[in-house]
Amino acid sequence: MNLLLKVNSHLLHEQHNKVYNTKEFQERLQIFTENKRKIEKHNAGNHSFTMGLNQFSDMTFVEFKKSFLVSEPQNCSATKGNYRSSNGPHPDSIDWRNKGDFVTPVKNQGSCGSCWTFSTTGCLESVTAINTGKLMSLSEQQLVDCAQDFNNHGCDGGLPSQAFEYILYSKGLMTDETYPYKAYEDTCKYKPDQAAAFVKSVVNITEYDEMGMEDAVATRNPVSFAFEVTSDFMQYSHGVYTSTECHRTSDKVNHAVLAVGYGKENGSPYWIVKNSWGYGWGDNGYFLIERGKNMCGLAACSSFPEV
């Protein structure tokens, strides 16, 4: 085995706990080496973000999409939202993680297209904490198992706005502790008497109104949104993500996340975003993405609950 193979196999095995049989090892090593080449080429260029090796580096983007992104495009319905902008002046930057105990730690959805549930719980956790002073970790699994009547599809996708409607209708969401996450769809075991968080109404921000999103994050709370993930995002490491590959329309979004703040870096405005791929991905589980240009359709369907 040459030195390059030795180094790469060490990265696969030691850093990401990957174990394969001999045939699969060669295939994975080839994919990993190709991804490594792409990362090095990108990082040698002039870009606003860097890429890096992570737990997905032994996968093709097709495989990654199948396991971690929603399989069907999520058509957002809020062409005309019900959010009323404050029209007040906004701070130049805000980060709800620094304003108090308002954001739960980064979680990991595993190989289930349940990002929409993590965006939903993350937002409801924060809104509840801001309004009551109590931060708790809420159940994604309840949404995976129980929210199908609201046009959600378990591990095959859904939308936070629809999940908030489900929580409103079902009169509550249980905690992670009482209804733990499994990363696969199971029968619904919701117990209303054990509900810990509630939704009074659902606020949808008008489609493509990124200034409305900014106003909500500045004056109210973190906001759930969806966008389109393309191949270079899989290996994102640091910096302000921008893409020339992705679309900016609501019919292409395939991943839901949580905007916890915004700011500016070297004159580039960005969103601070909590992801659900664990701490080992990106910037300790977070990423920055360009703000003000509806990058990858991020302003296509944003929402939050009132409690």
Task: For each of the domains in the chain, give its residue range(s) and CATH number, in order of start.
Answer: 1-46 (no CATH), 49-306 (3.90.70.10)
Q: What span, in angstroms and rounded, lies between the C-alpha atoms of 169 and 178?
A: 20
pTM of the model: 0.93
Question: What was the pLDDT predicted at 266?
Answer: 83
Question: What was the pLDDT predicted at 114?
Answer: 95
Question: What was the pLDDT predicted at 74?
Answer: 61
| Closest of 306, 301, 307 to residue 162, by C-alpha | 301
Low-confidence ranges of the chain (pLDDT < 50): 1-7
128 by Cβ neighbours in 10 Å (0-12 / 13-18 / 19+) ranks as buried
Question: What was the pLDDT predicted at 183?
Answer: 96
Euclidean distance between the first and the last CA atom of the chain, given in angstroms as a whole number: 59
Question: What was the pLDDT predicted at 273?
Answer: 98
Question: What was the pLDDT predicted at 60?
Answer: 96
Q: What span, in angstroms and rounded, lies between the C-alpha atoms of 57 and 28?
A: 9
Q: What span, in angstroms and rounded, lies between the C-alpha atoms of 49 and 218?
A: 25
Question: What was the pLDDT predicted at 4?
Answer: 46
Question: What was the pLDDT predicted at 23?
Answer: 80
Catalytically active residues are: 115, 255, 275
Q: What span, in angstroms and rounded, lies between the C-alpha atoms of 25 and 181?
A: 30
Q: How many CB atoms lie within 10 A of CB 44?
A: 8
Question: What was the pLDDT predicted at 303?
Answer: 95
